[in-house]
Structure 1
Amino acid sequence: MAWGPLESDVMDVLWRAKEPLPVRAVLDALNQARAEQLAYTTVMTVLTRLADKGALQRTRRGRGFVYAPVAEDEAGLAVREVLRRYGDAAVAHFVQASAADPESKERLRRLLERPAEGE
C-alpha cells in the first residue's frame, strides 16, 4: 500500500500501541515529536481514510471510534491486499514459485509447521 508520510506515521503509532486507540491518543503520540502540532481533525481524517482503504478497523466506542490495524505490519497488509484482489490465483502462484526454489520451499515448510498464534 502506498501511503503518504503522515499515514505512515499514524500506522507506526497504531502498530506500536498493540491495542485500538481513539483519535486523541494517536494525535498525542504524533505530536510528541513534532515542533508544528497537528490538528485533531487532520488526524481524524487520516484515520478515516486509512480505515476506508482497509488498513484499519474502525470500531465505535462510546461517542467516538477507536482504530486498530487489520494486520501486524506492512507486509501483512500487502498480503491481505493481494489475496483480496487475486484470491486463489495469488496463493497458487506463491506456492508454485516457492516450490521452484529449494530455499523458499524449506522456509515455507518451517512456517507451515509453526503453531499459529493463539494455539
Structure 2
Amino acid sequence: MNTGRDPGERRPGGALEAEVLALLQSSQQALTPGEVLRHLEDGLAYSTVVTVLSRMFDKGLLTRSKQGRAYAYAPVADAHGLTARRMRQVMESDSDRAAVLTRFVEDLPAGDEQLLRQLLGDLPDQE
C-alpha cells in the first residue's frame, strides 16, 4: 500500500490506524503483524505495527487469535458496522439518551428520517 509520502515523513494523527483497518477489512483472513507490515510497504518498524494493532485491539476495533508465536488480527465489523458502533458509543456517552435520539431524528434530512422509520417499522416488537 503506497501512501505517496516521503520516507520518514509523519502521518497525520490516526492515519496509520486507518490504513491498517482498511487493510484488515479488505483481507479475507486475519493477519499477523508481519503480514500487515509486508502489505503496508512503508518502511515501518515491526514494533510500530505491533503497537498499532495492540492499541486497536484495546479500543475494541479488532479481534485477535493466537497464530504460532504471534497474534492474527481481524476487524470486529465491516466499515458500516464500525460506523454504527462509533455512533452508539457517542450516544452512550451522554446521560440523556432520549434527548440525544430526539435531537438526532429532528436533525435528519427527510429521506434519512423516512428510512429510519421504515427500518424501525420492519423490526419485530420486543416485549
- Global fold match (TM > 0.5): yes
Larger radius of gyration: 2
2:75 paired with 1:69: yes
Q: Which has the higher helix share?
A: 1
Shift of 1:99: 6.6
Bigger shift: residues 92-101 or 63-72: 92-101
Shift of 1:94: 2.8
Shift of the 8–61 alpha-carbon distance from structure 1 to 2, 3 Å rule, reads same
Report if aligned partners of 1:22, 1:66 keep a CA contact under 8 Å in 2. Answer: yes
Q: How far 1:108 moved relative to its partner?
A: 1.0
- Equivalent of 1:50, from 53, 56, 71? 56
Residue-by-residue CA offset, 1:19-49 (whole Å, 9 max, x unaligned): 3211111111111xx3xx1121111111001
The 8 Å contact of residues 62 and 74 in structure 2, kept in 1 or not, is answered as yes
Report the RMSD for the aligned CA atoms in angstroms: 2.9
Partner deviation per Cα, 1:39-66 (whole Å, 9 max, x = no partner): 2111111100111122111222332211
Q: Tell me the residue number matched to 1:109.
A: 117
Alignment size in residue pairs? 107
**TM-score, normalised on structure 2?**
0.64
Report what 2:23 is aligned to: 13
| Mapped partners of 1:110, 1:77: distance in 2 | 21
Q: 1:99 to 1:4 in 2, by over 3 A?
A: closer
d(CA) in 1 for partners of 2:35, 2:66: 15
| TM-score, length of structure 1 as denominator length | 0.68
Give the equivalent residue in structure 2 for 1:117. Answer: none
Quick one: percent identity of the two aligned structures? 36
Structure 2: stretches of 5+ with no match in the other structure: 1-12
